[in-house]
A and B are shown apart, each in its own frame.
Chain A
Amino acid sequence: MAHAHESNVKRIWMVFGLLSVVTIVEVFLGIKKYDSLHLTIFLGTSILNWIFIILTLVKAYYITWTFMHMEGEKTWFRRAVVWTAVFLIIYLVTLLLIEGDYLYSTLAPLVRW
């Protein structure tokens, strides 16, 4: 590890601060669900949900990059781990969203309320 060690501790606390702020924002929006965000649909789900998903991906990025020290690993090792997982997860989620849509549109009208 040839990089400056002293700056590491400060950087760790800064990332902690960032993660805390993001979590506080998420929790605040989760409790106070503003109708403008909660009820407006965009690309299949509400804007509020999109905010949650994007903020979660931001947190995941920072945890992996700094806490798990991915930034220190060699480029192609990083990609072997991250690209594999991301590709497979996106593939699975895409298929399941398509299927879920079909299931809902076929079965929901049949339920007697």
Chain B
Amino acid sequence: MEANIAVPNEKKSTWGGGSVKPFGASYGKMMMWFFIVSDALTFSGFLAAYGLTRFKFIDSWPIADEVFTHIPFVHGEFPMIYVAFMTFILIFSSVTMVLAVDAGHHMKKQKVAWYMLLTIIGGIIFVGSQAWEWNTFIKGSYGAVKTTDGKILQFVKEKEVDGVMKYKQIALSDFVTGERGDELVEHSKKNGLWFESGETVSQYSIAQIIRSYEANPDVQIRTELIDLEKKQKTILSREKGAAELAKTKMVVEGANLEVNEYGNTIFADFFFFITGFHGFHVFSGIVFNIIIFFNVIVGTYERRGHYEMVEKVGLYWHFVDLVWVFVFTFFYLV
């Protein structure tokens, strides 16, 4: 009868599936696993789209350890180091999470609370680090130039690294001198239209950069095109470089969704979208963890007789860590 008509039921447990436990898993845990599958497929979709786009531009995609080279508070180039630190923080927070779940199985309230607190702190450090990475990425490190062909040109100088002469990228401020030449000024509400802010004006003008390039014979131009045999970007001769530089359309400092100093526009777009989507998941995970942390402290689960909620929220947190492991590999390593 109950298959075709709704029958009123007074039992509270009906919402949780009643006493039925398929596969021995509670309703909440099974649904969390199914949600994780759907979210994992979403992230796979994004990462696969990233892979396809990168494949399409495989001969001009920016090289990750030339882009992500900074550490907070320290000057100099340390490729990969900060991202490795972020990965460790997330793995460590996963460990504290599973220790909290384990303590929950033994009904040890204090231990659960302590490990959950550590997990929350780890999560906050990760999100803070990701925000710092975004800030550094958006601010830019060197500055570059975009031509009418839509190509990004970067500037390099030959420097000695470990006894070998290599071309190292230099910042615009390293070689550009002199006066702007144009009278461009960034308009704010004070000196422009009261209801609009003006276009961003770069620190150096195009004419200034071209003049400084001509004046400094050490500086050469590096294009996006990668020699796939050597996996290095192409350096242009002084003459070819000057010819490309003559086609400059705008100076690019930093990154936004339309243009970035590292290379193809879509590189920055994917970086923001995928790390942003992941960061959003970490943030929501922290919020869930805080809610469950408070519930642990006031004794909700002691009264309930089991800490399964900690386990469910732990599954979500480990999923977030799992996604980061893949994002880390495909964005920064490969």
A interface residues (Cβ-Cβ under 8 A, vs B): 1, 5, 8-9, 12-13, 16, 19-20, 23-24, 26-27, 29-31, 38-39, 45, 49, 52-53, 56, 59-60, 63-64, 66-69, 73-74, 76-77, 81, 84-85, 88-89, 92-93, 96-97, 99-101, 103-104, 107-108, 112-113
User: Contacting B92 at CB < 8 Å: which of A9, A16, A73?
Assistant: A16
- List residues of chain B with CB within 8 A of the CB of A39: 229-231
- List residues of chain B with CB within 8 A of the CB of A73: 23-25
Give the interface segment out of B48-56, B255-263, B270-278. Answer: B48-56
- CB distance A31 to B318 under 8 Å? no
- List residues of chain A with CB within 8 A of the CB of B97: 67
Say whether chain A's binding surface is mostly helix, strand, loop, or mixed: helix
Check B223 for interface membership: any CB of A closer than 8 A.
yes
The number of A-B residue pairs with CB atoms under 8 Å apart is: 140
A113-B23 contact in complex given A60-B325, A92-B45, A97-B51, C-beta closer than 8 Å: no
A52-B329 contact in complex given A9-B102, A20-B88, A68-B318, C-beta closer than 8 Å: yes
Give the interface segment out of B5-13, B79-87, B133-141, B283-291. Answer: B79-87
Q: In which size bucket is the chain B interface?
A: 35 or more
Check B193 for interface membership: any CB of A closer than 8 A.
no
Min CB gap B163→A, angstroms = 16
- List residues of chain B with CB within 8 A of the CB of A29: 333
A30 to B231, CA, bound (A): 14
- CB distance A74 to B24 under 8 Å? yes
A98 to B37, CA, bound (A): 25
Min CB gap A73→B, angstroms = 6
- List residues of chain B with CB within 8 A of the CB of A26: 329, 333
- CB distance A60 to B91 under 8 Å? no
Min CB gap A11→B, angstroms = 10
With A53-B334, A59-B325 given, name 10 new contacts (CB 8 A). Answer: A12-B95, A30-B333, A38-B231, A39-B230, A63-B321, A63-B322, A68-B318, A69-B98, A97-B55, A113-B151
